[in-house]
Structure formats: structure tokens, C-alpha cells
Structure 1
Amino acid sequence: MESRTYLQLVRVLLDPDPAVRERAADEVNDCLSAYSPAQASALATLLSAAAASEANTKTLEAQLHAILELMATGHVGPGHVSQLQDIDLAKLPTDIRDYVHDLLES
């Protein structure tokens, strides 16, 4: 992916508005084949950090789904998503709690 496009995606993944972050996480899935291995692993690390502090459940779900899709590229390992361990699972709905657990087990 071209650097300018990649940086724009990173910017919107960190936007203050949870709806914008949610749409950006969904956009990650639309470009999976365009990422270099380094870009895929960096996005997964960024999304993991963002998810660890995400307060909006819908946005968190989109971030987790994007991480799962990035992991499927083969360029993302457990170390890239280790920040998901910082999520307080007890505060999440069961389906999202299971999602985080599955990602950490991958």
C-alpha cells in the first residue's frame, strides 16, 4: 500500500470519534492484500493498542475483527496483539469477551 494511503488509514484509526474509528477498522478489511508484511503487523499492533483502551463496544468489535483478518494474512503473530491482554474481559459482553480470548489463543 502506498505510504500516503497507509498513513491516512492510521490517522483515522486513531480519530477521537468512535464512529470514525469503527469505519476505519472496517476499511482495514477491505485492503488486506494491499498491505506489505510490515504494514499488516504494524496495523495489528496499532489496533491491539487501540482495542485495549476502546470504550465503545461497536468500535471494539470492529477493531477485533480487523485484527482477526490481519492475522489471517500470516504476517501477524501473537506478539503483535499482546496488548489485548490489557482488556478487562469482565466488563465486556460475552460474545466480545470470547472474541478477545480467541485472538489471544491464536
Structure 2
Amino acid sequence: MLYAFLIIVLVVACWIAAQEKPLLHVKFKGGVIVWSKGHFPQMFKHNVIEIGEIVPFDGEIKVFQRRSGPEIKFSHIIPQKVKQRISNVFPHQGFISDGEDRKKG
């Protein structure tokens, strides 16, 4: 019984450790940013606000750091046209991960 409990605790601990934290997490309601957490590049924020004014939408956007660079993930309720517009203005070089130095030189 104790071994089963320890295995369950170990599996849960590994699952929690494996969860990735996004570099950026933004929530929208009616095309307006209602909450954001993380590094939000100014030009990207301006473009997303502009897209939200033109085509109001609800949902969430998360940006994760991958080996190949930042990757953007959308919630399923965001319309495909809005996803495409946001992807077009997404700054692949504008995100800073936790391990990178913000001021180089």
C-alpha cells in the first residue's frame, strides 16, 4: 500500500515538473485584453489590440519557448481568421526566455 502511494506521488510530482510555463499568457474578452502575464513585446501588443478592435474575439493566447524559438498557442474559440492575423504579426525574435540576459553588452 505504501509503495502504491509513493508511486502515485512520484507520478504526480513528475507531471507537475513537466508542465511548461508560458512566456506570455493573455486573455481576451470582446477583443480587449482583460489579463496578461509575462513578457509582452510592445509592437506585438499594439498589433493584437488593433486586431481586437477590428474583429472582436474571446479566448486565450499562450507563447511557449521551444528549441526552435517561441511558439504561439491559441484557445479553440478564437476564429481562424483572427488566429492567422495574430500569427502574421507574431514577433519570433521578440521574446526573452527566463535563461536569457535582458541587457546584453
Determine if the TM-score, normalized by the shorter chain, exceeds 0.5.
Answer: no
Between Structure 1 and Structure 2, which shows a larger proportion of strand residues?
Answer: 2
Q: Specify the TM-score bucket, using the shorter chain as the normaliser.
A: under 0.3
State the TM-score, normalized to the length of structure 1.
0.26
